Structure 1
């Protein structure tokens, strides 16, 4: 019963859903494997459905072989997929400004920029336990060296595949029939000598009578790029989005050369008669030269510093996969498989900081205060001042560890005309996220209020004289390098969270061809599925502390009473579970074939009933049609209702407070914000109505040419989200959104508390067109392949209750929504040599689509960007089964365009989720096969 193609020996219910077609870059109709062409009886047909009736389904499917993906992006398969125009805004280690959350160091695919949680990722057609509490799958933990191809269903597919397939499905298909031994080794480095990477893999497979066994292991490491690392001139200049304090009508100014205006590494007095006094190394006071276009946080020029963030996280991962299957009879195959993944991400985040409303108050009796400043305070009659300081002696470090394991077992039976598939899978993911050396609020404000002990004359923390803060070590803030090692140890601490995710899935699918109406037989598939998801998060005990300044003077009032003592992090416990019971029915009905003006006409329909333990029953459905009036011309269309249920984080996250900044929409000034993010167990599933319609052309008179154009429209209602702190401010003050205003509390002047609950809040609307062209022809004694994939998206609109709809299409500053995005590839193969040239295009766009250039901002336009990638291979061996390869990504070392990302006083030059921040990158390696 072993099958070389189609279902790879022991397909699951989901493996029935997808099979592949012939042009690797063009996957609608047929595909080539990475090793050999397939045609005729061996061709694998892309269906995009559960029914394997042999016709091409109406839902568009793009197929990429692993060989193609690794040619242009040899690091990981996710890197290659993210070059496809359908993927936007994915979480990757190179996203820039990586923070300590579950996504750090991970590769989370984001289809259509609808969020990684809105596309369903499958491994050989089966679900994989989530890699974050948001329900997204971490591609890094999959057995990448075994993947033969990746199928991307670019349309709603919940009726066929289950919940979460709102944006589509990404199915990683493994070569489970592999026999022999293969492996690879490679290394890479950037133009700047950083982000070094190493990768090695080994795979072995062997047939054993009626059985087959397969094993694979892989190792990957990338050193990442931390703050102030590398020699990128654009990054050294800094960037900013500044309120315009000078001439001209623009309210905001995008500019390079922006620096921090409210703090320095040695301390800066920011208000009062002594404002503009900074402290140099050793503590000596000196005038601080302010620059131009000065705001509360930034300015251009002057003595300000650049408060840098990391560009990419360092990552290291190990994966392993083991599988065995056995033909019990000619009609029954059973299998069992397991995979394991361990990944660690380590990186420096940014320096500890205390500025703006968090700036400490320095009193005249501070024991470290230089005498000249104490004398000036006496002359001016002031008792204290506030000091903005970025603590360059103390970098916040982070670590994200993940350990995932998963087992699956199942069978395929083909009694008579029936095909029956069943499987069970269990997966667990243990995630530990740690912040090291984070500033502890109370300890810092106690330590910086240092005085002389009236009895001993020693410098002590003032609060210890009243019996508080035993063990406090005085902190000297005056001048970079002045704090003692003991003081730094005292004011900082570590906090962590352990997140345990569990998933169990049981599924059974049956399929059979019935009777014929006017053409081929009607085919029916039906199935049931049960899925259970659970999560439990424990945290370090210190994250439950309440910020209390009793006995301490000078602590910021806006932080008092906050849950969690650290300036970042402070995760809270989480626990919850839910289950889903589902049943589906799908039918494929060929209506006519080989009739006048009807080469082929067929319909496809599916319905699914899902019962969520948290919210009840919901029904999804789809209808599709294929029509070929003549050979080589096909029209297709699908209309569907799709769903996504809330994930464990959206349902069960406890109140988690954070501190940050926002730009006041009216004044343009930066204000300090304390946020409370929390889950909501009463959330309902999101509902999406999806329409796709397109045409596929394969003219007989142009041999080797294929092209497709597909329109899509996705309309999501009740999308689960919470407004960000800046969005909440904008919605309230600019658009008078009462829901947003109800979540804002003004604590003291420029200090705000904002509640951010999860809600079925938004309506999302997307409209666009996918283009795909593939042309292969003989050329100069070899074979030339030309392919192009492009996406034009003119609508990405979000509507919040009480507000107008905002269409973010064309926005590449605050979001990842270029109107046009495309890849164009030329591949030439002759003898043992293969050359590949890829051009990646990102269309010009706006920084913020809500801004009017010249009124709201001085320059709201970000230019178009082209990236070039070059790859070369040289095959050796009797059958050319071994190869040396070299890849150069971003060949011309194109800098990312100026598009500032600002968080507090942390500056990022560009939007790294859209643009390449690494620069020219070289990878060389060797692959072998026996």
Structure 2
């Protein structure tokens, strides 16, 4: 439907030679022919990401970033989320660097707008959601060795693909036409030279241990990928099959000096938890069954068995045993099969299976002040000297001591969350020509993920209470708790889940046989229907549902629900003019989708896009998309329960951040002001849950860009984008709610702050901040993407290619946050820099070897806040990482790849406890563990 021009040819050639981050895309990648020959012959109609209309060009009216299979391999990553998070357009979400709060899945967050607003596809069809804790697609299902390329549509896509494509679409195009047998064997690991004087000084002050010098190679991973493919039935059919295995070893925080202690919220000292091996305890007399808050004291147990007032020094360094990187074992297998009966009937099938097991290990359990234990003063738990202290403090007639105990279970070992996921996906369908102008595609897709978690070695509260009642848990005697007595107090919580997705899709596409008077080319269209059914079920055992484990932070409830959506969709491509002065070609693309949700009713999405080639070398494009995201099962049906949020209470401590009047707004009395205890671990209670009254989100996306080929060896794109979302589904955030209450006194916020009688928001479950799902208002995001490719031939006997992918964030504003987060880090802002880029230089001297150098750059971010003294006045400075990789063809059948990412061993920027996602860092975003060394050998037969 379109004729080739010079710009299209240059982009096609760049794609063939592994050029990444281009703004144009197609699904018919070149293989073995020379670039010129392939470019001239590539006239077959293909599907461009962002549209189902088949075209004869790689051009798109919407920005599409491409990562080629070559770039995937050169990165050395076996986790596809690591590769995607290295793109400037992607913000880190669930990764292997999360331990406390790990879901076990890997998710993608395009633009930092949310994983639930990023639609993930495989070969143009959506993946099912991940597991027990996640409603987003788990990209663990994607074997990196089988990816032909990744296409990232950064401008909406709901009219084409349906709901969830608010920030855009990530489409993994798989190798389904492979010929022969290929075996890839790889290994990788991390290396770091420990020499952080600042952190080592803080640990010396606490007398904490830490590693020094070189780490050796740790966090090792191994992988074997097997791919085979062949034609059959005289060339009418083709089958590609694959099987992969990946093993990643654990890495604990004790392996790096900068993570060997948990920084306090200010980042000025090694903090930790006041739930310590020698317990810290809130004591008060109990009179008539009432706990006398007016006489409450917070005492530490000393090594000699006496008590003294808690002064902040008796904290437990829980960091060393926490996972910095979780261990993981994954198996995948699958096949792609197609067969041509005739031009009118070409059946196809896709099958994939994935099993993944990971363990999230965090510090030992404890009593965590989770309950009040009333203890007779004559109990064997107390010594005579301790009884004398109580009588001296509370009076000679005291009979019952109420205690909120903070005792760490160092005798029993760490807690572990064993997470397993098994995902199955099947697509069966057929395509073919109805006539010379029209073709069809009809398919049925089923995807299901079964998940389970076994949370082990956490204290079972009832066992602990019984042991205290019977004086069998000797917590107030130094060394009195044995490993045997601790083991008897543990419990196991089990939860299973299954998610399923069934999709029936059918559409026809072709030319209408009509054209505008100003154009010689016919209009083209797509008309289709889709029925999608999503079900989610999570079954928690009684221990989970009761929140009976001390370290769980509250109950985890069962969840079941689902929805069905019926849709009609269509697209129309209208060539306006071509071959005229000032108009090489101009095309208008239109799309609309009518959706009927069983949960929220009818919704309509639509798009309009203009593709204007001014000359063969210069192109202007613009698009508008209306997108809709209906609430998912968890957002609708999750039961309300207590959980934890990380941050600070601005009314806690001896010198609160907020004034007495502001703290009064949050429920702090004048007597409590300056006497509310801060949690040394920076964790507070929140009340979280779903809302069946949620309305769908509605988003408007606008893009405007220029694509140019001003020189034969240079092409570039510049695209401006803006995304506005109304009726945003989310929460105001517990931290933000608390602050807005203090600052405004508005009942909208303050009604959601519920302090315990002591004023606490973390001791026991009486104090919490409500943060359930609501439609919270609007959000606005905008930025500019810049991409360029440049080639120099005959340099030192070879060719140098340079590729740059950059993203400028202009605005990142949400009503729920109340500030523009672009270029900021704060308690409400992920540290998305204003500018990020990757610049790759490749030198190819001959057909035997190539060398590549990549520069990854993160611009600085400002800090908005006063708590984190590491960042006050300077924020996080710019970060640069250099990667090198070399590939060598040993012979026709064997090639070797060796690379080092972050060759200068740059440490991640440190942040205080209230901003860290794990191990004093923004884990998984900045390079987290130092150098990454990888190597692989590929055998082809």
Matched, 1:81 2:84: yes
Post-superposition Cα deviations, 1:559-581, rounded to whole Å, max 9, x if no partner, equal xxxxx776446321111111011
Match of 1:705 in 2: 714
Q: Residue 422 of structure 1 is aligned with which of 422, 439, 442?
A: 442
What is the Cα deviation at residue 91 of structure 1? 1.5
Post-superposition Cα deviations, 1:657-678, rounded to whole Å, max 9, x if no partner, equal 2256753334346368543322
Matched, 1:799 2:815: yes
Match of 1:113 in 2: 112
Matched, 1:476 2:496: no
What is the Cα deviation at residue 799 of structure 1? 0.5
Post-superposition Cα deviations, 1:381-416, rounded to whole Å, max 9, x if no partner, equal 565466533222232111110011111100111132
Match of 1:391 in 2: 409
Match of 1:823 in 2: 838
Q: TM-score, normalised by structure 1?
A: 0.84
- Helix, strand or coil at the partner of 1:390: coil
- Helix, strand or coil at the partner of 1:344: strand
Contact 2:25 2:151 in 1 (8 A): no
Match of 1:408 in 2: 427
Post-superposition Cα deviations, 1:830-853, rounded to whole Å, max 9, x if no partner, equal 231211111111111133x3x269
What is the Cα deviation at residue 356 of structure 1? 5.7
Structure 1 386/588 Cα, relative in aligned 2: closer, same or farther at 3 Å? closer
What is the Cα deviation at residue 364 of structure 1? 4.1
Structure 1 857/681 Cα, relative in aligned 2: closer, same or farther at 3 Å? same
Match of 2:248 in 1: 222
Question: Partners in 1 of 2:539 and 2:297 — Cα distance?
Answer: 46
Question: Partners in 2 of 1:845 and 1:861 — Cα distance?
Answer: 6
Worse overlay, 655-664 or 60-69: 655-664
Worse overlay, 268-277 or 766-775: 268-277
Matched, 1:693 2:718: no
Question: Partners in 2 of 1:128 and 1:823 — Cα distance?
Answer: 28
- Helix, strand or coil at the partner of 1:726: helix
Match of 2:199 in 1: none
Contact 1:20 1:63 in 2 (8 A): no
Structure 1 377/72 Cα, relative in aligned 2: closer, same or farther at 3 Å? same
Contact 2:732 2:771 in 1 (8 A): yes
Matched, 1:630 2:630: no
Q: Residue 756 of structure 1 is aligned with which of 745, 761, 771?
A: 771
Question: Partners in 1 of 2:302 and 2:789 — Cα distance?
Answer: 63
Worse overlay, 667-676 or 324-333: 667-676
Question: Partners in 1 of 2:837 and 2:775 — Cα distance?
Answer: 33
- Helix, strand or coil at the partner of 2:921: coil
Q: TM-score, normalised by structure 2?
A: 0.83
- After TM superposition, list the pairs within 5 Å mapping 1:232-247 onto structure 2: 232-241=256-265
Question: Partners in 2 of 1:277 and 1:691 — Cα distance?
Answer: 59
Structure 1 310/846 Cα, relative in aligned 2: closer, same or farther at 3 Å? farther
Structure 1 74/757 Cα, relative in aligned 2: closer, same or farther at 3 Å? closer
Match of 1:652 in 2: 637
Match of 2:884 in 1: 870
Q: Residue 258 of structure 1 is aligned with which of 270, 273, 284?
A: 270
Structure 1 21/684 Cα, relative in aligned 2: closer, same or farther at 3 Å? farther
Structure 1 860/749 Cα, relative in aligned 2: closer, same or farther at 3 Å? farther
Q: Residue 20 of structure 2 is aligned with which of 18, 25, 42?
A: 25
Question: Partners in 1 of 2:87 and 2:126 — Cα distance?
Answer: 23
Structure 1 339/274 Cα, relative in aligned 2: closer, same or farther at 3 Å? closer
Matched, 1:670 2:682: no
Structure 1 645/343 Cα, relative in aligned 2: closer, same or farther at 3 Å? same
Question: Partners in 2 of 1:361 and 1:276 — Cα distance?
Answer: 16
Structure 1 766/480 Cα, relative in aligned 2: closer, same or farther at 3 Å? farther
Question: Partners in 1 of 2:387 and 2:742 — Cα distance?
Answer: 43
Post-superposition Cα deviations, 1:432-457, rounded to whole Å, max 9, x if no partner, equal 122111222333233234xxxxxxxx
Question: Partners in 1 of 2:147 and 2:114 — Cα distance?
Answer: 24
Contact 1:72 1:838 in 2 (8 A): no
- After TM superposition, list the pairs within 5 Å mapping 1:174-573 onto structure 2: 174-191=174-191, 192=215, 193-209=217-233, 210-226=236-252, 228-230=253-255, 232-241=256-265, 254-260=266-272, 262-268=274-280, 277-280=300-303, 284=305, 290=311, 304-308=315-319, 309-355=322-368, 364-380=377-393, 384=401, 387-394=405-412, 395-416=414-435, 417-449=437-469, 460-461=470-471, 474-478=472-476, 482-514=480-512, 515-517=514-516, 518-545=519-546, 567-568=552-553, 570-573=555-558
Post-superposition Cα deviations, 1:72-117, rounded to whole Å, max 9, x if no partner, equal 24322321121110001322112x34425xx32x221110011111
Question: Partners in 2 of 1:85 and 1:661 — Cα distance?
Answer: 26
- Helix, strand or coil at the partner of 2:81: helix
Worse overlay, 914-923 or 154-163: 914-923
Post-superposition Cα deviations, 1:739-774, rounded to whole Å, max 9, x if no partner, equal 332222233132323333221223110011111111
Structure 1 19/644 Cα, relative in aligned 2: closer, same or farther at 3 Å? farther
Post-superposition Cα deviations, 1:346-383, rounded to whole Å, max 9, x if no partner, equal 13122213346758677643424455444444555565
- Helix, strand or coil at the partner of 1:730: helix
Matched, 1:888 2:897: no
Question: Partners in 2 of 1:502 and 1:20 — Cα distance?
Answer: 39
Structure 1 184/288 Cα, relative in aligned 2: closer, same or farther at 3 Å? farther
Worse overlay, 315-324 or 357-366: 357-366
Question: Partners in 2 of 1:662 and 1:863 — Cα distance?
Answer: 22
- Helix, strand or coil at the partner of 2:325: coil
Question: Partners in 1 of 2:389 and 2:770 — Cα distance?
Answer: 43
Contact 2:825 2:875 in 1 (8 A): no
- Helix, strand or coil at the partner of 2:824: coil
Match of 1:771 in 2: 786
Contact 1:633 1:695 in 2 (8 A): yes
Question: Partners in 1 of 2:734 and 2:24 — Cα distance?
Answer: 46
Question: Partners in 1 of 2:107 and 2:32 — Cα distance?
Answer: 28
Post-superposition Cα deviations, 1:611-648, rounded to whole Å, max 9, x if no partner, equal 10101111111111122222211111001111111111
Structure 1 135/262 Cα, relative in aligned 2: closer, same or farther at 3 Å? closer
- Helix, strand or coil at the partner of 1:160: helix
Match of 2:194 in 1: none
Worse overlay, 418-427 or 852-861: 852-861
What is the Cα deviation at residue 907 of structure 1? 7.5
Contact 1:262 1:268 in 2 (8 A): yes
Match of 1:66 in 2: 69
Match of 1:10 in 2: none
Match of 1:48 in 2: 50
- Helix, strand or coil at the partner of 2:739: helix
Count residues in correspondence: 835
Kindly report the root-mean-square deviation, in angstroms, between the aligned alpha carbons of the 2 structures: 3.0
Contact 2:62 2:621 in 1 (8 A): yes
What is the Cα deviation at residue 805 of structure 1? 3.1
Question: Partners in 2 of 1:261 and 1:77 — Cα distance?
Answer: 35
What is the Cα deviation at residue 204 of structure 1? 0.7
Post-superposition Cα deviations, 1:709-737, rounded to whole Å, max 9, x if no partner, equal 11010000111112332222122222444
Question: Partners in 1 of 2:746 and 2:625 — Cα distance?
Answer: 32
Structure 1 541/255 Cα, relative in aligned 2: closer, same or farther at 3 Å? closer
Contact 1:26 1:706 in 2 (8 A): no
Match of 2:800 in 1: 784
